Amino acid sequence: MATKESFIPFRSPFRGVSALPQRHAQGGFAALSVNVDSSQGVIRSRPGYNVLYQEKASGTECRTLGVSSTLTSAGEARIIWVYYKSTASESWGTLELNVHLSNGTKVNSFTLSSHPYDVVPGPYEFPSFVNYMGSVYIVFKKGCMYKYDTETDEVTKVIASNITRSEVFPYFQSIPDGTIAEAHGRRLFMAGFDGDKSSSVTTNIPEDQNFIPESVIESSRASLVLPQNAIVFSDFDDPTVWRSTNLLATPKGQKVTWLASTESELLVFTEQAVNVVRSF
């Protein structure tokens, strides 16, 4: 708590406890600063913000869709910025990804809506970021996943591994088209499915099985339709391999809205409740 109120010149929505004698008559409460700077030995409100980088180009408008940060193996910070750029020359605009240092210097840039990438551009294509195995995986709403490599500063599309060995239960032929991703227990978890799109598998699903609910298997048994309450997870340490039996679900009717990993549990948020996944 600041000892001089002049360092906090605005009212805060939070209430804190003050040790100042003059505050005791008022119940001992005092405002807390929302955005504070303690680098000078006192708590004072920050003087503002610092613009690290701003995209400036005539005839364009940019909208930030997502920002994430990560560290290289040498401990250097990287800032990943995904934004939509509307231009007069592109009828649908473009989707861009920049990589910056912490001082704003641009390290690399990619147009994700152009070859060899295939993200459909739009002002509402908000990505989901997850740090996993030394890289940052980026999932978009249209069901595509990309990897930013912190060592090469390059972005590549994640393609499902081609499983050639004989397996009783098939694998997904492509990366599941979820829009929410989280790393937990050496696996990558995916959720946020629309409940309409089919996901093909490598071989037909056996009829005499009870690992995959029959309600999500299509009549050909060559694909699944993952519902909105579904959660799928990859093999250990490999986000390119997704077995069709690696499937969980929240209670029926509870659409998954977010995933969050703790040290021992995976929290699954829905519109009605928070569920917990353990033993992974």
**Residue indicated by tokens 């990619």:** 110
Percentage of the chain beyond pLDDT 90 is: 50
Question: pLDDT digit string (tens) for 181-237?
Answer: 999 999 999 999 988 899 999 989 988 888 899 999 999 999 999 999 999 999 999
Sign of CA dihedral 154, 171, 227, 235: negative
Residue whose C-alpha is closest to residue 181's, from 234, 220, 243: 234
Which carries the bigger pLDDT value, residue 59 or residue 175?
A: 175
126: alpha, beta or left, given left = phi > 0 and alpha = psi -120 to 50? beta
Helix (H, G, I), strand (E, B) or coil at 258: strand
Which carries the bigger pLDDT value, residue 48 or residue 128?
A: 128
* Highest mean pLDDT: which range of 57-71, 162-176, 234-248: 234-248
Report the chain's mean pLDDT, rounded to a whole number: 82
Question: pLDDT digit string (tens) for 234-279?
Answer: 999 999 999 999 999 998 889 999 999 988 899 999 988 999 998 8
* Highest mean pLDDT: which range of 18-22, 36-40, 45-49, 205-209: 205-209
**Other Cβ atoms closer than 10 A to 177:** 21
* Highest mean pLDDT: which range of 29-33, 118-122, 215-219: 215-219
Q: What is the pTM of this model?
A: 0.78
pLDDT greater than 90 at residue 166: no
| pLDDT of 163 | 73
Read off the pLDDT of each residue in 108-130 and give the average, rounded to a whole number.
91
| pLDDT of 41 | 61
| pLDDT of 165 | 63
Which carries the bigger pLDDT value, residue 201 or residue 141?
A: 201
- DSSP string covering 48-73, please? ----------TTEEEEEEEEEEEE-T
pLDDT greater than 90 at residue 169: no
Tokens of 168: 């009783």
- Among 31-35, 167-171, 251-255, which stretch is predicted with the lowest mean pLDDT? 31-35
- CA–CA dist 255, 193 (Å, integer): 9
pLDDT greater than 60 at residue 45: no
| pLDDT of 5 | 45
| pLDDT of 164 | 63
| pLDDT of 230 | 95
Q: How confident is the model at residue 9 (pLDDT cuts 50, 70, 90)?
A: very low
| pLDDT of 15 | 46
